[in-house]
Amino acid sequence: MLETVDMMMITQLNQIFKEKNIKCTLHSAGGCASCGMEVKKDDDVHIDDIVAIVNEALRDKFLIAVYQKTQPDMLYIDSKFGR
């Protein structure tokens, strides 16, 4: 089951990227983040680094971000308990 993040979390994550000088932003896919988050980044930013930052930020919320190798520009949020 996919979990959700709200717009405030996306804003907070984007602020973390900005503070770390990482050229990356997250955007909700569709009308809400339950559909996933689109990753917009510079070519020199690796998706695994982005996922690590997102997962650190979501750690206390018992959520985890994952992506598919065939579609690395989309992050999906899941519960840590489902893993």
Confidence of residue 80 (pLDDT cuts 50, 70, 90): confident
Enclosing domain of residue 31: 7-82
pTM of the model: 0.85
Contacts of 81 (CB under 8 A, 6+ apart): 62
Identify the pLDDT of residue 1.
Answer: 42
Residue 45 lies in a domain: yes
**How many domains does the structure of the chain reveal?**
1
Residue 64 lies in a domain: yes
Mean pLDDT confidence for 48-73: 92
Mean pLDDT confidence for 14-30: 93
Residue 75 lies in a domain: yes
Residue 2 lies in a domain: no
More confident residue, 75 or 2: 75
More confident residue, 63 or 4: 63
Residue 1 lies in a domain: no
Residue 19 lies in a domain: yes
